[in-house]
Structure 1
Amino acid sequence: MKHKKHVQGKRKPSHPLKPHHPSKVTKPSSKNGPKPKPSSSSSTYSHRPIIPFSPTSSLLLIGEGDFSFTNSLVATIPPHISPATVITTTTNDTESVTYEKYPHSEQTIQTLKSLDHKIHFSIDITKKLPKSLSTNKYNCIIFNFPHVGGLSTHLDRQIRSNQELILAFFKNCIPLLSMDGGIDDGSGNIVITIFTGKPYDDWNLKELAKSVGLECIRSFKFDATIYEGYKHVRTIGFREREGDWKGEERGARSFVFGVKDDGRRRRKGGDINKRKGGENKGKNNNGKKGKAKDSDGDDDD
């Protein structure tokens, strides 16, 4: 017996409640009787914030600008990292240029240093990294909002320059990943957060990752509000008058990458491909070979 397909106007939450179908519909025996409980709906369903590392993860943060994100991992109550965790954080600028661009960062940096976190200035992620970074292994390497700045007004050249930046970042960071400690119990992870929409979608982040042997494990909406005191700043530095630039109001998404085929153990939910609808080993439903769909496990939160 065929069942009619139920079409729902709104997207179901990732963990939908089981529908209740009573055999009979009854009314309360009196006006003063117990009122039926309100049914759950998507409007009351909330998602837990996703943090792509654990409180004890060894972290390397790239391109930190004013270091407000680094500081938020310590300042958020409760903190996102344990007191014993040491953060290694970097910026492309020299120390003096950092203070010139972001005057408020000096106090932040002093606070981080007092807590024994490692601050590195003048780190160009596109070039060979110093031994102080390259001899260590990290559970999670994070690059929030990578951008080369206004190198060109030509859109295609700007896109190409940012793709080259990300490729160099991937290549330099893969050797720094630990063999464990990733969010999927596999090797370490690389996390990149970028704005959504044009021109950022044209960077083809997942394809760049695949070209260097990485796979997208999952992606999720970036929620800056869970990082207390963090605010996105422009690559060019702080300006008293930012004009009509509304970067803070744009949506953003984080992408978590891992080394492809590293033998990572799958989550309790089973193989990632199964969570995406059953595509497995590049075969379609008829058993014929075909193009496998992305298995990055996107979370629409």
Structure 2
Amino acid sequence: MAKRDKGTLRAALAKHRARSQQRADEKRKATVGQASKAAASVPSKKRTVMPFAPDDSVLLVGEGNFSFTLALMSPPHNHPPQQILATSYDTEAEVYEKYPDARAIITQIRAKAGLHADRILAFGVDAGALHKCEAVTGNRKDDPRRWSKVWFGFPHVGAGHKDEQRNVLANQLLLLRFLVSVAPYLTQGRAPTYVTGKTRRGSDEEDEDEDDSESQVATADDVFAEHTVWRPLLPPARQGSVLITIRNVSPYTPWNIPMLGKKLRSVFGPIAASAPPPPKGTFMPTLADLEQAGTEYVVWRSFEFDPRMWKGYSHRRTVGFVDGLSTANNEDLLRRTAPPSASKPQGRHVGTGECRTFELALR
């Protein structure tokens, strides 16, 4: 009986240990599952791209109320004023008429620019005929102006074509004219490290761009110095690029910006022939101009444009401030994260798609 009792005890103990181990395994799996669900519920930190390095010479075309220019000059970006030229298709008077907030913004820009106030803004500049603007090209053959970053934010002809195909063609023609026009004024040199993936070494060599989101910005003392001391435009010795930002939803995606850059020479003629005629007097490049400029582009990258990165920026439409459509805090650009409900109405201004920047460079 003793041996049988000992065997029964051992079996019962083994079963107890097995059940305990099973409960422990189930508890561990449940804990891991809960942790995974918790991690999934926390949104991952989105990597933001800062497209402008501190030493970039920046040309902004098609500005509306110039709030992007002011945001670029202001904290946390603090881009030096002598390294910026912001242009508008409209005259200064037309800007004030179309955008009620523009006068105060431009006053702030000129105050921040200090001794560079007369050189930071240019009006009446056609992005498709940049050769006509001395502020863009420079005023002497031995001192041409060159730009390492040229940003065209939310381009649109603003003609109101109701036919979608005509609207697409009109805006494609606008972008093609711009890509041809800007080509001669981009800086030349080695591509940035985020394109090549190679970092230059050696203490006697000029540093290239590091990761976009980690580029150093000017300090408060630097900003004061740029404001009070006149400095010339100093373009960096690297290959320049074009940045085009649009809403990444229809009817904008059919513009197909990557295709326009890659196949510019072959598509320019057909699109120019099919698009609605631009305003009278608009400069139109010839095929010979395209060949001379060597305008074929490659796409370096594309990334989401988050207007919240640019404190004070307020998007405006080409036609001006429109009651019921234009907004104060870019609600018409921001993505809707959930459908509207009675308890949390989101309003008609909230956007339904991301905004995207395409960065192109000459081949």
TM-score by length of 2: 0.57
- Pairs within 5 Å for 1:209-224: 209-212=261-264, 213-224=296-307
Alignment deviations for residues 10-47 of structure 1 (CA, whole Å, 9 cap, x no partner) = xxxxxxxxxxxxxx99969xxxxxx9995694544212
Q: 1:55–1:85: 8 Å Cα contact kept in structure 2?
A: no
Task: Tell me the distance in 2 between the aligned counterparts of 1:144 and 1:26.
Answer: 60
State the shift of 1:176 in Å.
1.0
Q: 1:57 is paired with a residue of what secondary structure? A: coil
Q: Relative to structure 1, is the Cα distance of residues 45 and 136 closer, same or farther in structure 2, using a 3 angstrom cutoff?
A: same
Task: Tell me the distance in 2 between the aligned counterparts of 1:84 and 1:91.
Answer: 17
Q: Relative to structure 1, is the Cα distance of residues 223 and 112 closer, same or farther in structure 2, using a 3 angstrom cutoff?
A: same
Q: 1:164 is paired with a residue of what secondary structure? A: helix
Amino acid paired to 2:106: I
Q: 2:73–2:81: 8 Å Cα contact kept in structure 1?
A: no
Task: Tell me the distance in 1 between the aligned counterparts of 2:183 and 2:126.
Answer: 16
State the shift of 1:240 in Å.
2.9
Alignment deviations for residues 149-171 of structure 1 (CA, whole Å, 9 cap, x no partner) = 13421111111000000001101
State the shift of 1:59 in Å.
0.2
Q: 1:50–1:220: 8 Å Cα contact kept in structure 2?
A: yes
Amino acid paired to 1:206: P
- Pairs within 5 Å for 1:1-301: 38=35, 41=39, 43-75=42-74, 77-78=75-76, 80-83=77-80, 85-114=82-111, 115=113, 116=116, 118-127=120-129, 128-134=131-137, 135-180=144-189, 182=192, 184=195, 187-212=239-264, 213-242=296-325, 247-248=332-333, 249=351, 250-260=353-363
State the shift of 1:85 in Å.
5.0
Task: Tell me the distance in 2 between the aligned counterparts of 1:89 and 1:25.
Answer: 69
Task: Tell me the distance in 2 between the aligned counterparts of 1:95 and 1:26.
Answer: 76
Q: Relative to structure 1, is the Cα distance of residues 85 and 38 closer, same or farther in structure 2, using a 3 angstrom cutoff?
A: farther
Amino acid paired to 1:112: I
State the shift of 1:81 in Å.
3.6
Q: Give the unaligned 5+ runs of structure 1.
A: 1-23, 29-34, 261-301
Q: Relative to structure 1, is the Cα distance of residues 243 and 67 closer, same or farther in structure 2, using a 3 angstrom cutoff?
A: closer
Q: 1:56–1:81: 8 Å Cα contact kept in structure 2?
A: no
Q: 1:56–1:85: 8 Å Cα contact kept in structure 2?
A: no
State the shift of 1:130 in Å.
1.7
Q: Relative to structure 1, is the Cα distance of residues 25 and 208 closer, same or farther in structure 2, using a 3 angstrom cutoff?
A: farther
Alignment deviations for residues 193-240 of structure 1 (CA, whole Å, 9 cap, x no partner) = 011121111111111001241111111111000100112111110123
State the shift of 1:64 in Å.
0.6
Q: 1:54–1:81: 8 Å Cα contact kept in structure 2?
A: no
Q: CA RMSD in A?
A: 2.9
**Comparing 211-220 and 59-68, the one that deviates more:** 211-220
Which one has more relative contact order, counting CA pairs under 8 Å at least 6 apart? Answer: 2
State the shift of 1:247 in Å.
3.7
Task: Tell me the distance in 1 between the aligned counterparts of 2:81 and 2:315.
Answer: 27
Show the counterpart of 2:227: none
State the shift of 1:241 in Å.
3.3
Q: Relative to structure 1, is the Cα distance of residues 204 and 99 closer, same or farther in structure 2, using a 3 angstrom cutoff?
A: same
Task: Tell me the distance in 1 between the aligned counterparts of 2:256 and 2:186.
Answer: 22
Q: 1:52–1:256: 8 Å Cα contact kept in structure 2?
A: no
Alignment deviations for residues 76-127 of structure 1 (CA, whole Å, 9 cap, x no partner) = x32x244465310000000001001112111211221221251000001122
Q: 2:122–2:135: 8 Å Cα contact kept in structure 1?
A: no
Q: 2:172–2:255: 8 Å Cα contact kept in structure 1?
A: yes
Q: Relative to structure 1, is the Cα distance of residues 251 and 107 closer, same or farther in structure 2, using a 3 angstrom cutoff?
A: same
State the shift of 1:179 in Å.
1.2
Q: 2:317–2:326: 8 Å Cα contact kept in structure 1?
A: no
Q: 1:163 is paired with a residue of what secondary structure? A: helix
Q: 2:146 is paired with a residue of what secondary structure? A: coil
**Comparing 182-191 and 222-231, the one that deviates more:** 182-191
Q: 1:57–1:85: 8 Å Cα contact kept in structure 2?
A: no
Task: Tell me the distance in 2 between the aligned counterparts of 1:119 and 1:84.
Answer: 10
Show the counterpart of 1:7: none
TM-score by length of 1: 0.68
Task: Tell me the distance in 2 between the aligned counterparts of 1:198 and 1:66.
Answer: 25
Q: Give the unaligned 5+ runs of structure 2.
A: 1-20, 26-30, 138-143, 196-207, 209-237, 265-295, 334-350
